[in-house]
A and B are shown apart, each in its own frame.
Chain A
Amino acid sequence: MKIEVRELSKRFGSVPAVSDVSFAVREGELLGLLGPSGSGKTTVLRLIAGLETPTSGEIFIDGRRVNDLPVQQRNIGFVFQHYALFKHLTVFDNVAFGLKIQKWRRSDVEARVTELLRLMGLEGLGRRYPHQLSGGQRQRVAIARALAPRPSVLLLDEPFGAVDAKVRQELREWLIRLHDDLNVTSLFVTHDQEEAMEVSDRIIVFSKGRLEQVGSPAEVYEEPASEFVARFIGSMNILEGEVKNGQVRVGSLEFPAPGFQDGQRLLVGFRPYYVKVSEDPARFRQQARLRHVYFLGVAYRLEIETSDGLILRSRMNKEEFRQCRFEVGQPVSYAVTHFRFLPQEGKPVPTPEPPPISGPLTP
């Protein structure tokens, strides 16, 4: 394990910022810490870097306990959200800063900085000052500066938070390529679930200082471990109902729940693309009315109101949508093809006895 944190907690005064968090980062991994603002993800990053002192818990880097090691000796590279470049130094001197501190030989400094500027696509900008660069260039200088002394891990705090949408997309792709080339173990913090999904090998989801789920983007998306994760990552329809005779009924919808006890309340979650909608009222058994159609660029999102008054979201690709000829307000039929039971906040994952807990539903 490259980085490991065990039962890490941090309080600011009486306010808990991070509560009992444990996870491990593998060698060469690109890992995203995802959560809404104030969820403690940046604090976790700063604790690993040594910029904050944990209230309790342990931090290991390269198998060595670093709790008592000052930030200077942890051999980490840190990229700040607002770049934090040295404004009075040129791009070259910014990147060379860590090397000069470590007393590298002049010729080695020259070679290393030149190499990094080339790698970052910053050739010819070495003599500029930070204020003469664009946002994207500044961020790349910040990454070059952090990488220069060959840190054992790279920590990035909202690395693309301060640049506009188009540059952000470029930087994301560029970070993935850079990571593929250098293979330095990297942790980055983001509040943007799309960004986390696209960039990370694995994602750690935080909420209110607690770790909600660790997993690959697909796992976190397809098998959310909590209602919070389900709602935060992508979009999900979530309904609540009571088990009766091995089924959860919500209005006219029925979800088989074999193995659950009668009277237990369960959260049922399903992604919009598991809601099939047709303009033919006879196509599916469930009936609804089309409330809204949203154009998302790559697809359409439909909002339907069921005959029981539930609002559900459906997602449809362009081809399907064109074949349907929808009109807002018209009656439609629909079916839910997949679903899963979600744990309620603060409770363990509902585990019925025999499987399956999720599976296709026939219309």
Chain B
Amino acid sequence: MKQFLITTVWLYFGVLLIGPIAYLSAQSFGEGVTAFWQEITKPEAVHGFALTAEITAIVLVVNVVFGTMTALVLTRQRFLGRTLLSGVIDLPFAVSPVIAGFMLILLFGPETMLGTLLGAAGIKVLFALPAMVFATLFVTFPFVVRELTPLLQTIGAESEEAARTLGANEWQVFLRVTLPSLRWGLIYGATLTVARAIGEFGAVLVVSGNILMLTQTATLHIYQSYVDFNYVAANAVAFTLLAVSFGILTVLEIAKSRAAAAQQA
């Protein structure tokens, strides 16, 4: 029975994860290392990587800052609508990214007041970087908040109060007491954010217009190459993104074990 269960789990992982990854890796180098290298250094691919990196960086900073602030406010303050806000935090997980993108199209479209105003001011939101950042923010927003909220609840407010009785102002309390105890949760949430931002496709596809060399991110580039029957390019870029994800996962695991070791030392 035990053996059966273990075998089932192995099979499950094999079909879902190990098989596809192994096949993709093999296919990426099917035409040789030179072809692989050519594909990922093509201007279109490089531009896709750069755009993905840019969006990810902006989203990371925004999520760390506002995510931390949101988690702090939701756990430490009592105010009208707090339960409502706590309740809708997970909404982006439940809503399809395509719907998220579609909502942005509606909001910033030329038919709305907001769209007209921005258009008059010469600010391009849709089919440009701002909308892509918004879309990615929407889908990654819960990660940091969800990591920090339970952590803040466990830590409690006592050590923050202790810092205040010792003369620390709110900013000092945050920097010297709250933030250090959130460190690992924040790194974890940030890493998940990065992984999700790099991989985002649906929401970005809807709002970007998928314009080559302009609004085509790495994932969109994979999609476009595949649609154009350029399997080598699709494989190569996909493999590169997969390698980055593996890197992130490794960092995550090291960070977790370091945190655990620091706790026990």
Contact = CB atoms under 8 A, between A and B. Distances in A.
B42 interface: no
Contacts of B162: 78, 80, 84-86, 145
A72 B169 CA distance: 7
A71 interface: yes
B74 interface: no
A6 interface: no
A248 B159 CA distance: 56
B186 to A, nearest CB: 13
A101 B167 contact: yes
B177 to A, nearest CB: 6
Contacts of B46: none
Interface string B145-170: 00000000000001101111111110
Given A87-B181, A131-B263, A97 B159 contact: no
Contact of A84 (B159, B183, B263): B159
A126 interface: no
B161 A84 contact: yes
A351 B176 CA distance: 58
Interface in B179-221: 180-181, 183
B163 A97 contact: yes
A68 to B, nearest CB: 16
B158 A84 contact: yes
B250 interface: no
Interface in A62-106: 71-73, 76-78, 80, 82, 84-89, 97-98, 101-102
A146 interface: yes
B166 A149 contact: yes
A102 B165 CA distance: 12
B263 A77 contact: no
A51 interface: yes
Of A82, A101, A129, most buried by chain B (CB within 10 Å of CB) is A101
Interface size class of A (residues with CB under 8 A): 20 to 34
Interface string B222-244: 00000000000000000000000
Contact of B177 (A73, A86, A131): A86
A84 B265 CA distance: 20
B182 to A, nearest CB: 10
Interface residues of B, number: 19
B164 A51 contact: yes
Nearest to A89: B180
Contacts of A73: 167
A131 B164 CA distance: 22
A49 interface: yes
Contact of B165 (A78, A82, A88): A78
Nearest to B180: A88
A102 B263 CA distance: 29
B8 interface: no
Contacts of B263: 131
Given A88-B180, A101-B172, A80 B166 contact: no
Nearest to B265: A129
Interface string A36-76: 00000000000001010000000000000000000111001
Nearest to B163: A97
B167 A88 contact: no
Contacts of B163: 86, 97, 101
A129 B177 CA distance: 15
Contacts of B158: 80, 82, 84
B165 A77 contact: yes
Nearest to A99: B166
Interface string B27-70: 00000000000000000000000000000000000000000000
A76 B167 CA distance: 9
A101 B172 CA distance: 8
B164 A71 contact: yes
A101 B165 contact: no
Of B166, B169, B172, B265, most buried by chain A (CB within 10 Å of CB) is B166
Given A97-B166, A98-B166, A101-B167, A85 B161 contact: no
Interface of B: 158-159, 161-169, 172, 176-177, 180-181, 183, 263, 265
Given A72-B169, A80-B158, 18 more contacts: A51-B161, A71-B164, A84-B159, A84-B161, A84-B162, A85-B162, A86-B159, A86-B176, A86-B180, A88-B180, A97-B166, A97-B168, A102-B167, A129-B265, A131-B263, A145-B166, A146-B165, A149-B166
Interface of A: 49, 51, 71-73, 76-78, 80, 82, 84-89, 97-98, 101-102, 129, 131, 145-146, 148-149
Closest 10 CB pairs of A and B: A98-B166, A84-B158, A78-B165, A84-B162, A88-B180, A101-B167, A84-B159, A71-B164, A72-B167, A101-B168
19 contacts: A51-B165, A71-B164, A72-B164, A72-B167, A77-B165, A80-B161, A84-B158, A86-B177, A86-B180, A87-B159, A88-B183, A89-B180, A97-B166, A97-B176, A101-B163, A101-B166, A101-B167, A145-B166, A148-B166
